[in-house]
Structure 1
Amino acid sequence: MKALVYEGPEQLSLRDAPDPVLTEDQHLVKVVAVGICGSDMHAYLGHDERRPAPLILGHEAAGVIVGGPRDGERVTLNPLVTCGICEACLTGRDNLCPERMIISMPPREGAFAQYVVMRAENLITVPGHVSLEKAALAEPIACGWHAVRLAKERLGAGSHTALVLGGGAIGLGAALSLVAQGVHDITMVEPNEGRREYLTDKCRQHAIAPDDLTSDMMFDIVIDGVGYAKTRATASAHAKPGGVIAHIGLGEATGGLDVRRMTLQEITFIGTYTYTAQDFRDTAQAIFDGRLGPLDWVETRALADGPAAFADIRAGHVAAPKIILHP
């Protein structure tokens, strides 16, 4: 099969790769749409030791099952594979499974390829009225869905305000998830002017520049979809007393939090990693039901154009929150 292979920092090539090996508990999926994630960008830049070269990246995918009893079924992929028998898995917190693996990390190749294999329980059937490009957004949006659910559980009932840091697919997915879960007063912060205009004009979000976030603007929920020291500093400065910071981004490992203020003001910090299987199913159903909006904020390119797509994202030339590749 053809695959887009990460070969070293800022080096990608489309080349022949071995076909995936199918086992009894797996299905072969022909990949139709696969998104470029921030974690793919981290690997591309050589910043993720968990993804060493050479490796097929990509984990935000949807496609069609080939062969077997479900041949021809359109599916979206939950790329997080867990053991199913540990305490975390048995209590519905399978994203914390100590054996968890996500495709695009060794030993599991990713979905920037013509084919990928997945277990049956990781495949969600996509109804005919939903495009596979939209279905591929289930994975990045599920990260925000999970973060919003945890934040709302901490705060309890009430009318809440929210600040979302970062206007990529993770941040936008979090904003859409906030609305779907009953939070409507949302401000997004995005430094890139082109993307900020796109969020405002195309996605109908209230998106502002970092300099427009004044010191008196405080929020019940702050979602950091970036994860740098600077954004963590912003999060801890703008969470209301008793508020919640839901931290999704993995930009850099340390720095930024004002722990003293968070302690004195009883601000809860929640680190959020991926999503549970139920969060993924709930997100997919919200896409199918139209509760996350038209989801028309993607740019599509051929898999062969993947190297240029990564370079354009790296240079800040992409206004759309998500590029989806077509193998």
Structure 2
Amino acid sequence: MKALVYEGVETLGLRDLPDPVADAGQSLVRIAASGICGSDMHAYLGHDERRPAPLILGHEAAGVIEGGARDGTRVTINPLVSCGQCTACASGRENLCPDRLIISMPPREGAFAQYVAMRDENLVVVPDHVPLEKAALAEPLAVSWHSVRLGLAAHDRALGQTALVIGGGAIGLAAALALKAQGIDDVTIVEPNATRRAYLSDVCGAQAIAAATDDYAIVIDAVGYAATRAMASALCSPGGVIVHIGLGEDTGGLDVRRMTLQEITFIGTYTYTRQDFRDTCAAIFAGSFGALNWIERRGLDEGPQAFRDLRAGTVAAPKIVLDPWA
């Protein structure tokens, strides 16, 4: 099979590799679409020690089962693999499993390839009316669905029903869509990149601004840098909630004194539960996230240039999806 392999800092190569073999309880999935995630970019830049080279990156994927009893079944992939036995797994919080892995973390290769072998329990059937490139958005949408669910559970709606999302990439846009799908209508995205901001407004119908000065009851930081955490702690209204998804850098930014005095809740969140993933898929299939027309599709051989373009900040669309067969 052809695969896009991370070979070193800012270096990707297209290689011919053996097809993976599905073990018992697994299926071989012929990948139709695989999205580039911010974590893939972190690895590409050499910022993720969990993803050492050489490695096939990519974990946002959908395709068709090839072979076996379910041959021809269209599926999207929940890439989070957990042990299924620990306290977290038993309580339905698989994302906190101490042994959790996402494909694209050794020893599990990722989905920037023509085939992936995946556990059957991690595959969700996609209806025929849903394009597989949109079904591949289930993973980033599930990240945001989970974060919004946690934020709303901690939020007193009597204190306000406005939300600010910091960052207009795929996770930020997905958070805005998840907020609306879960009942918050007044949602603003702050995005400093003018090209991306115009795309969010013109194509996605989002309320996107260059800078924010008002207070918001819910603030979602989908970037995760010291500057964005500072923005979140300054703009969250008293009694509000900050939900922190981004993994840009580790420290700095939060105004802990203001958060303490104003009783602002801070929630760090990572990935999603298995139920969140299924709920997200159901919302996609029902059209609850809208048209999901914010995808730029490229071939797998265009992957290296796609990463360079993302690095340079010249991509307007929130999500680039690679087609391994183009």
The within-5 A match list for 1:150-189 is 150-158=150-158, 160-189=161-190
Matches of 2:7 and 2:156 in 1, distance apart?
Answer: 47
Matches of 2:264 and 2:126 in 1, distance apart?
Answer: 39
Q: TM-score, normalised by structure 1?
A: 0.97
Matched, 1:86 2:79: no
Offset, 1:85: 1.4
Aligned residue number for residue 226 of structure 1: 223
The within-5 A match list for 1:24-35 is 24-35=24-35
Matches of 1:18 and 1:107 in 2, distance apart?
Answer: 16
Matches of 1:122 and 1:22 in 2, distance apart?
Answer: 13
Matches of 1:313 and 1:155 in 2, distance apart?
Answer: 34
Matched, 1:283 2:284: no
Aligned residue number for residue 293 of structure 1: 290
Query: 1:78-99 deviations in whole A, cap 9, x for unaligned?
Result: 0000111111111111110111
Query: 1:203-243 deviations in whole A, cap 9, x for unaligned?
Result: 11110112xx12xx111110000000000000000111111
Query: 1:250-294 deviations in whole A, cap 9, x for unaligned?
Result: 000111000111111111110000000111111111000000000
Aligned residue number for residue 319 of structure 2: 322
Name the Cα RMSD after superposition: 0.8
Aligned residue number for residue 148 of structure 1: 148
Offset, 1:157: 4.8
Counterpart pick for 1:255 among 252, 256, 261? 252
Q: TM-score, normalised by structure 2?
A: 0.98
Q: Secondary structure at the match of 1:323?
A: strand
The within-5 A match list for 1:78-157 is 78-157=78-157
Matches of 2:31 and 2:294 in 1, distance apart?
Answer: 20
Counterpart code for 1:170: I
Matches of 1:16 and 1:274 in 2, distance apart?
Answer: 31
Offset, 1:67: 0.8
Q: Between the two proteins, what is the percent identity of the paired residues?
A: 71
Counterpart pick for 1:310 among 286, 307, 311? 307
Aligned residue number for residue 196 of structure 1: 197
Aligned residue number for residue 56 of structure 2: 56
Offset, 1:18: 2.6
Q: Secondary structure at the match of 1:319?
A: coil
Aligned residue number for residue 22 of structure 1: 22
Moved more, 315-324 or 149-158: 149-158
Counterpart code for 1:82: S
Offset, 1:21: 2.8
Query: 1:36-74 deviations in whole A, cap 9, x for unaligned?
Result: 000000101111111000000000000000111111000
Matches of 2:93 and 2:24 in 1, distance apart?
Answer: 26
Unmatched runs of 5 consecutive residues or more in structure 1:
none
Aligned residue number for residue 206 of structure 1: 207
Count of residue correspondences: 323
Counterpart code for 2:44: Y
Q: Secondary structure at the match of 1:27?
A: strand
Structure 1 residue runs of 4 or more that deviate by more than 3 Å after TM superposition: 156-159
Counterpart code for 1:183: I
Offset, 1:16: 1.0
Matches of 1:157 and 1:45 in 2, distance apart?
Answer: 40
Offset, 1:19: 1.9
Matches of 2:32 and 2:110 in 1, distance apart?
Answer: 14
Matches of 1:44 and 1:15 in 2, distance apart?
Answer: 17
Unmatched runs of 5 consecutive residues or more in structure 2:
none
Counterpart code for 1:94: E
Matches of 1:69 and 1:79 in 2, distance apart?
Answer: 21
Matches of 2:118 and 2:40 in 1, distance apart?
Answer: 19
Matches of 2:60 and 2:227 in 1, distance apart?
Answer: 27
